[in-house]
Amino acid sequence: MRKSAPVKKSSRTRKKSTGNPDRAGVRPPPPGHGKRGEKGYLAYLLRQAQAAARLTLERALADLGVTPPQFVVLTMLKAYPGLSGADLARVSLLTPQTVGVIIRNLERSGAIRKTPHPVHGRLLQWTLTRRGLTLLDKCRRHAMALERRLIAGLSATAEVTVRRWLSKIAAELQRDG
């Protein structure tokens, strides 16, 4: 039987790196403060607000078994019945692959149905079923709590201004991109 060589122990022991001692224990400020507040970049603040709104909506819809992307798809189909999967992906701001999965799940649950386009038969159009309308109505009731929180403290004029500003940003940046 062959013996393995003994392992040499290093005379030096490694110290845990604590980084810059001047920064130890420093935490970023909470949302609404410093660069995460009024002094922050607009694009970051929009992203931060969107992430907080999405998480709040996700929690509100969880007891219905609906995700925010599913809610968006249901909402867009009510607003624009007969959309194709590709058009649905564009207006929902989701990838075609994600919309494909959502469509399959919503169709399986009976919330939406497909019909062939009257002229272009290979093109499928999606519409809400009665069950889908009922589900969307329940989702809207949950989502309205978030809407009320978002506009709390805004006058009617300020709300219209914010809505116009956000719509304008989306339209202009889409045109430029």
Q: Could you report the per-residue pLDDT of 141-159, keeping only the tens digit for each?
A: 999 999 999 999 999 999 9
- Within the chain, residue ranges assigned H as helices are 42-62, 68-79, 85-92, 96-108, 130-151, 156-176
Q: Is residue 138 part of a domain?
A: yes
Model pLDDT, residue 132: 98
**Is residue 143 in a domain?**
yes
Q: Kindly state whether residue 27 falls inside one of the protein's structural domains.
A: no
Q: Rounded to the nearest 10 degrees, what angle do helices 85-92 and 96-108 cross at? A: 110
Nearest CA to 126 out of 95, 96, 86 is that of 86
Q: Which residues contact 123 (CB under 8 A, 6 or more apart)?
A: 84, 116, 117
Q: Is residue 14 part of a domain?
A: no
pLDDT at residue 92 is higher than 90: yes
Nearest CA to 86 among 78, 98, 74? 98
Range of the domain at 151: 41-176
* Domain contains 2: no
**Does residue 31 lie within any of the structural domains?**
no
Per residue in 106-148, pLDDT tens? Answer: 999 999 999 987 787 778 899 999 999 999 999 999 999 999 9
Integer Cα distance of 22 and 144 in angstroms: 46
Of the candidates 120, 141, 137, 119, the one whose C-alpha atom is nearest the C-alpha of residue 128 is 137
Domain tally, the chain: 1
- Asked whether residue 35 is domain-assigned, the answer is no
Report yes or no on 161 lying in a domain. Answer: yes
pLDDT value at residue 16: 52
Closest to 99 (Cα-Cα) out of 83, 121, 78: 83
The Cβ of residue 89 has, within 10 Å, a number of other Cβ atoms equal to: 21
CATH code for position 128: 1.10.10.10
